[in-house]
Chain A
Amino acid sequence: MSTPMILRESRTSTTYSDQLLENAKSVGCSPPSTAPGDTDPGTWDKIKNHPCFSEEAHHYFARMHVAVAPACNIQCNYCNRKYDCANESRPGVASEKLTPDQATRKVIAVANEVPQLSVLGIAGPGDACYDWKKTRATIERVAREIPDIRLCISTNGLALPDHVDELAEMNVDHVTITINMVDPSVGAKIYPWIYYGHRRHTGLDAARILHERQMLGLEMLAERGILTKVNSVMIPGVNDEHLIEVNRAVKGRGAFLHNVMPLISNRIHGTYYGLTGQRGPKAFELRALQDRLEGTKMMRHCRQCRADAIGLLGDDRGQEFTLAEIPHEITYDASKRRAYSQLVARERADQLAAKNEAIRTVMSVEYGGSVLIAVATKGGGRINEHFGHAKEFQVYAVSQSGIKLTGHRRVEQYCLGGWGEDATLDHIVNALEGIDILLCVKIGDRPRKLLIQAGVRATDAYAHEYIETALGALYTAECGIEPLAATATA
């Protein structure tokens, strides 16, 4: 394996960046990046540094959302537009709305500090296509300053067909449409009204218009080769079974990726669903539905992020970059991002080889069940986070059919400033329900014992290894086979 030193570190300190740069200088030309098995080279080129469109990329690359588009043209029963909370991580929430100028300065400030930054997205907090002038101005300004940044928007689709040509002209090559139904009678239970053609529509009429516009928008994007992800909110009893039909409809119209997300519903959010007690799906219900849609490309690594999120998907750094701290005059400095992308080009070829080898290893096991393994990582595709510092654990299902990321479990950090809170620890143990093994860099005796009592075996034996390498070795060990022997016979 090549030098993994840099990616083991995660926080962007001066030392980290300096190290990065040093390392990059010693590198000659980077090898061509290899596309994982099932992706054609042209598509791979588009998704290889987009953390939302490629699970593999999400280990390395970060996105940022700028909240320039607060206006929206529809009302969803899971959204309350008045609600805002700095600690709340979910779509449609943002702490400060920005003008296109402010947003441009913010993107430059982040690009100068966060080497992983690869994508600028506009995800509201309203609708990017409806609040079009601000979306357009922001994209144009940022693209002028940082020509190699990938551009991305997300939309409810109602105003999308009006702007597809402009999106193509502006090189926006990734679009996400939230599509929760293809049957207006289902839609009428999700959308109380839409604003279209200078008037408010309600009921079936509203849902029918929205559906037609969404399908038209999706087809127009596909015709122009713009990669489209479809987000669907899974609402038990409303559209859960129906999402199978949605999946078929959107794939048939050229959607690249389907992301089924759980409804977030809580009385304190003041949403219609929250106030009426509509529940969200349980983790196993979500997974069961996602499994039924297998066979089409599914997104399993979504973190349902805020409209002003910044950083790797599992580690929101949005609050480090508030407008008040960004200078009025700021110049883009490409050095950190350039150095990082050179480094990643080398590292990920190595990771891919390790991953393929690990998958071969688990598939060579003659018999064995499925093991659910939680991993503490802060990026780079490695087990490189301490148990107590983790804000989430990525969950992998390992079986003879391969290694699959199935989701993540979000937790509060247990260890802050060297000591841990018991209440927090209880919460983490609960969050890890159903997990067989937990992998991290380090874990204290107390949490380890509590986890054992809950049926979770935690180990630091694979610290700093590639995630898949560790999973392969563990799985074969679980099945009573020596990892090396299994590899040799593969």
Chain B
Amino acid sequence: MAFKIIASQCTQCGACEFECPRGAVNFKGEKYVIDPTKCNECKGGFDTQQCASVCPVSKTCVPA
């Protein structure tokens, strides 16, 4: 289970990159992407996914 970023809605502010507790978010090429092998949807660490909690655009960090 992992989250993904809808690139067309992303403002590329980068907040998710430094909030992600697993370092799963990186800027690749022209957009931010979540590495599905690292993302665990913040299970065990936080009640809510950090990327989705900080993202300024709703429904942009969503379950993959």
Contact = CB atoms under 8 A, between A and B. Distances in A.
B46 A81 contact: no
19 contacts: A70-B11, A70-B12, A70-B13, A71-B18, A71-B54, A72-B15, A73-B54, A75-B56, A81-B11, A81-B56, A81-B57, A82-B56, A126-B13, A131-B14, A198-B50, A199-B46, A199-B47, A199-B48, A200-B53
A449 to B, nearest CB: 48
Contacts of B18: 71, 133
| Chain A interface residue bracket vs B | 10 to 19
Contacts of A70: 11-14
Given A72-B56, A133-B18, A199-B48, 20 more contacts: A70-B11, A70-B13, A71-B13, A71-B15, A71-B54, A73-B15, A73-B54, A81-B11, A81-B56, A82-B56, A126-B13, A126-B15, A130-B15, A131-B13, A131-B15, A195-B53, A198-B19, A198-B46, A198-B53, A199-B53
A133 B46 CA distance: 23
Contacts of B50: 198
Interface centre among B46, B53, B54 (most CB of A within 10 A): B54
A117 B29 CA distance: 35
Interface of A: 70-73, 75, 81-82, 97, 126, 130-131, 133, 195, 198-200
A72 B13 contact: yes
B56 A97 contact: no
Contacts of A82: 9, 11, 56-57
A198 B18 CA distance: 12
Interface string B17-55: 011000000000000000000000000001110100110
Interface centre among A70, A75, A133 (most CB of B within 10 A): A70
Nearest to A198: B46
Contacts, number: 46
Main secondary structure of the interface of B (DSSP, over half): loop
Nearest to A75: B56
Nearest to A70: B13
A446 B62 CA distance: 60
A199 B45 CA distance: 12
A81 B16 CA distance: 15
A82 B56 CA distance: 9
Nearest to A97: B12
A81 B55 CA distance: 10
B36 to A, nearest CB: 22
Nearest to B52: A200
Interface centre among A131, A133, A198 (most CB of B within 10 A): A198
Contacts of B56: 72, 75, 81-82
Nearest to B56: A81
Nearest to A195: B54
B48 A200 contact: yes
Nearest to B9: A82
Contacts of A130: 15
A199 B54 CA distance: 8
Counting from the closest, the 9 A-B pairs by CB-CB distance are: A71-B15, A70-B13, A81-B56, A71-B13, A200-B53, A195-B54, A81-B11, A71-B14, A82-B11
Nearest to A80: B56
Contacts of B54: 71, 73, 195, 200
